[in-house]
Each structure stands twice: as C-alpha cells, then as structure tokens.
Amino acid sequence: MDNVILGLPLYYYIAMVAKVLGAFVFVLLTVAYATYAERKIIGFMQVRIGPNRVGPKGLLQPIADGLKLFFKEEIIPEKASTFAYLVAPLIALVPAFITFAAIPFGDTIEVMGYKVPLQIAGYYDTAIGRVFDLNVGVLYILAMASLGVYGIVLAGWSSNSKYSLLGGLRSSAQMVSYELAAGLAIVPVFMLAGSLSLQEIVKAQEGMKWFIWSNPMTFAAGVLFYICALAETNRTPFDLPECESELVSGFCTEYSSMKYAMFFMAEYANMVTVSAITTTLFLGGWDGPMSKAIPALSVVYFVIKVYFLMFIAIWIRATLPRYRYDQLMKLGWKLLLPLALVLIVLTALAGYFGFYSFFG
C-alpha cells in the first residue's frame, strides 16, 4: 500500500480518527437526547405530556435548552476561588468522555484490506491475528471514572457556599462508599474471563454466554454493580449531592450558563459510560445473533443494550424516592459491600470445586 506511516497504512489512521469522532458524536448526541427521552418517559409514567412545543413532538427541545444555557449570563460568586471554580466543570466532564476510549463498541471491521477493531484504545496485530487493547482496561475505567468526583468536590468548595460544600462532601463520601463495592462486584467477571482486558471479557461471553445469565453469582454481581454505578453517577434514588429539598441544587447551586450545563452533561455522559461498562462486563458487549458475520450488527446490539440500561435508570428515577443520607451509607457499607465479598468467595469456591461447567 502507498502512504505508509510508521509501518501502518494511512487508511488505518483515518479509521482511528473516524472511531474517535464516531464515539464522541455518539456520546454527545446520546447525552443531548437522553434529557429529552428522560422527560418524555417520566412524563408518560406520570400521565403527563412532556416536552412537545419545540419542533415535532418536542424533538428540538434539547437544542433549544443548549442554546438558552449558552447565551445565559455567567455569574461568578464574589468570594469564590476563581480558578478552582472555573476548572471544576471540566474536571467533572472530561473523565466521562475519555473513559469510553477503552470500551469495545463493536466487532473488528475491514478497511482497505486492514482489520480495525471498533475500540478506540485497540489495534489488530496481523502477525498474531488478534486484537490487542489495554490489558488492564477495567482498571483504567475505574481510575478515570473516579476522577469526576474531584470536579464535584472542587465545585462545592470553590463556590464558597454552605449548600455547595455539603453537596461536594456528600459526593466524595458517596463515591468512596460505593466505588469499593462496585470494584469488588466485578471481580467474579475477572475470575471467569481470566483477564482484565475488555476484549477478552467480551470474547469470554461470545455465543450468547453472557455473564448476566451464565451463573447466579455473576447475575447478582451485575445487579450489584449497576446499583453502585447509579450511586456513583448521583442518579436517583442516590442523588444526595444535589437534592433540591435540602441543598437547593447542591454542588452546582452557584453555577450558571454553560458551566452548569457541563455538570449536567457530565451526569448524562457518566450514565452512558456506566451503561456501556455494564453492557461490556455482563451483557456480552457487542455479542448477539449474527454479530460475527455482520460487524455492523455488533454495533447495533451494543447500542440497544446501552439504551436499555439507560431506560432502566430513567425508570428507577420515576419510581423510587430519594434515600436519606443514613440509609445511603447503610446500604453501601452494610449490605452491598458484604454481598460483593460473598460473591467473590462463592465464585472462587465454584471454580475450585469445578461447578463452572454446571453453571455454563
């Protein structure tokens, strides 16, 4: 091939850029229309209409909201710590996007005779004939996901408001409480897949052998991980850091205009990422009927699974009331954490006594 750069054809780099742009646009559009979907779905569940004035069926409402926030006046509190106040929304938003780099969102496709895996942080080694990605992809995701809380804590502290400070403190305590249980909940997946690579985890579930139904331990682990993930993203019923009944709007009380919108975007981007991680670890990732034969189908399956999990999060918001703070801590430390440890022990015992074949 002509135009070879560092031993790889130019088409490969074009495909890499296309993957990055495609993933970014997907997350951005999903974030925008998740707000619309949430308002419509909750409206239906509460026998309301939801947004219906801007565009057909209200489909242009997210664009109108974005333009409104973009042109609103920016207000910075007089006694705020200016630098931390300005940088906090970025710290909250950026990790939500870069986490998606390690997630395989489809099978390997062929571009100009060169195989390209549908994963930003992945490449196909022609000499060995397999896809390589981050061999500690799950650890990368956990590390990046935990950075977002720094933005929330900084926002709460730098605003020089008691409501914002309490919201930031709640968020940090909530992250510590639930990230531990979430990290332990996915250990049974590593034990079954034998790898921390997300590509290897998806391969271990090929042929519809998804971990969510392969054995009782991984089913319980999947449910536990999803609950903890909702808590880490501050979704209802775990939205204590910004509960309006006590803290006005919590850590983002003093924010306006696009800075407020960035916190809003971070929440929904985290929602997309969490759904994608849960899909990869427990729902087979892009695996589905005919996904190997038709690579485009693998992307469709992945998106459907992600949107299904996002629908579940919206359904939970419409159904359950907010926890009290003491209930939140009790659930995390006294129920979910011990349950995660028990699941690890049971999975280890099942492997030691050879019960995996029984579970499938």
Any residues with CB less than 8 A from the CB of 254 and at least 6 apart, and which? 75, 77, 80, 85, 159, 160, 161, 164
- pTM for this model (two decimals): 0.87
Specify if 241 maps to a domain: yes
pLDDT in tens, 59-115: 888 888 888 888 887 888 877 788 888 888 888 888 888 888 888 888 877 776 677
Tell me what pLDDT residue 311 has. Answer: 93
Tell me what pLDDT residue 245 has. Answer: 65
Of the pLDDT bands very low, low, confident and very high (cuts 50, 70, 90), residue 197 is confident
Specify if 63 maps to a domain: no
Number of domain units in the chain: 1
Specify if 30 maps to a domain: no
In the block, tokens 């779905």 appear at 41
Q: Which domain holds residue 233?
A: 71-111+135-359
Specify if 285 maps to a domain: yes
* Residue scoring higher pLDDT (18 or 128): 18
pLDDT in tens, 52-61: 888 888 888 8
Specify if 169 maps to a domain: yes
Tell me what pLDDT residue 241 has. Answer: 66
Out of 11-15, 135-139, 259-263, 305-309, least confident range: 11-15
Specify if 3 maps to a domain: no
Any residues with CB less than 8 A from the CB of 249 and at least 6 apart, and which? 163, 167, 242
Tell me what pLDDT residue 52 has. Answer: 86
Q: At what angle do helices 295-319 and 216-232 cross, to 10 degrees?
A: 70
Specify if 24 maps to a domain: no
Residue 29 CA: distances (Å) to CA of 83, 253, 257, 332: 29, 26, 20, 32
CA 330 to chain centre: 24
Residue type, 47: V
CA–CA gap between residue 227 and residue 238 (Å, rounded)? 9
pLDDT in tens, 208-262: 888 888 888 889 999 999 999 888 887 878 877 666 666 666 777 788 788 888 8
The burial class, CB within 10 Å (0-12 / 13-18 / 19+), for 275 is: buried
Q: Are 126 and 115 in contact (CB under 8 A)?
A: yes
3-class SS at 241? helix
Tell me what pLDDT residue 313 has. Answer: 92
Specify if 279 maps to a domain: yes
Q: Over range 333-353, report the average pLDDT.
A: 87
